[in-house]
Amino acid sequence: MSTEEQKERIELLQGTLDLLILRTLILGPTHGHAIAKAIEFNSDEVLQVEQGSLYPALHRLIKREWISVEEGTSENNRRAKFYRLTAKGRRQLKLETSKWDKLAGAIARILRPAEQENES
């Protein structure tokens, strides 16, 4: 049913979203909207983030002390929260990235023979 599907999609996004946020912040502290934009932009608009789900993810990362918050001023001169990658977050990003590579590689290895079979 619809709620089940939704839940699955959110869960699928969550881990990935954390990784993408950390990756985005490596370029420097920025505020919430800019993070969402950056993710969309950098993925060539493939990943359509439901922007709201960014906030639970940000809070989760803060709680784990992978990112920190500071007051700052946005492009249009408004007070905004800027999120900054911590040292711990940086380590975590490395770890997560290598994990992701392994996962992606493994999935690719599983998928490739199947493709070959289909071709032959």
55-74: contacts with other proteins (CB under 8 A): 55-56, 59-60, 62-63, 69, 74
Chosen residue from 53, 72, 86, 100 binding other proteins by CB under 8 A: 53
Reported in sequence order, the residue ranges of the chain that DSSP labels E, i.e. its strands, are: 67-73, 79-85
The least CB distance from residue 75 to other proteins, in Å, is 9
Cα dist from 41 to 13, 63, 71, 88, whole Å: 17, 27, 25, 26
Q: Does 42 bind other proteins (CB under 8 A)?
A: no
Q: Does 15 bind other proteins (CB under 8 A)?
A: no
